[in-house]
Amino acid sequence: MVRPPRGTRLCALTFTAGPCIVAMDKLVGSGWELPDIRQETKSKILAIIGEKTPVEIQNPIDLTGPGFLPKNYVPVLETVLQEDFDAYLIVWNYNPLIRVPVVEFEELAKRYGDKTMVLVNLANQAEAAPFSATLAARGICAYLTPEDGATALNALLSRHLFLKREGLQ
């Protein structure tokens, strides 16, 4: 469903730090690097979420409260997809009162098809059921926990390293 990354440069996007911290423990230990984001990109992100949002933009990108809404999250995701990262961990939180931006995720996955993206849709099985099949049908690799998302990214990185070692990539 997802092609292996071109390298080890990872960008993570979340609305809150907790899930990314859990995933980062598994990811960094497996060889992923978390390079900083360009200043120009940081400025664009702050313009989207609001200059007064009390957060320092760094990788992983924690959007805090404003990032909980699709109208902020999706433009920030598109902004970071324009950066030179090899893979992306995208953490979304299911909330029954907020629309899951499935169509937008699909459009970005198509537009940036050369990027390795794994979505973590923080939800339980029952909450995620209506979206999981839709996401998979639209070619979006999605998991319910940060640990599972990290495991998927680590498997993709292992595949990349194997292909590189064998001269196949």
Report pLDDT digits (tens) over 59-102. Answer: 999 988 777 889 999 999 999 999 999 999 999 988 888 888 88
Kind of pairing between the strands at 87-93 and 10-14: parallel
Identity of residue 94: Y
The more confident residue out of 46 and 134 is 46
Q: Which residues contact 134 (CB under 8 A, 6 or more apart)?
A: 102
Q: Which residues pair with 119 in a beta bridge?
A: 90, 142
Q: Is the CATH number 3.40.50.261 carried by domain 10-164?
A: yes
Q: DSSP secondary-structure letter at 6?
A: S
Q: DSSP secondary-structure letter at 101?
A: -
pTM for the model: 0.92
Report pLDDT digits (tens) over 13-70. Answer: 998 888 888 898 899 999 999 999 999 999 999 999 887 776 788 999 998 877 788 9
**Contact status, residue 62 vs residue 9, Cβ threshold 8 Å:** no
Q: Which residues pair with 14 in a beta bridge?
A: 62
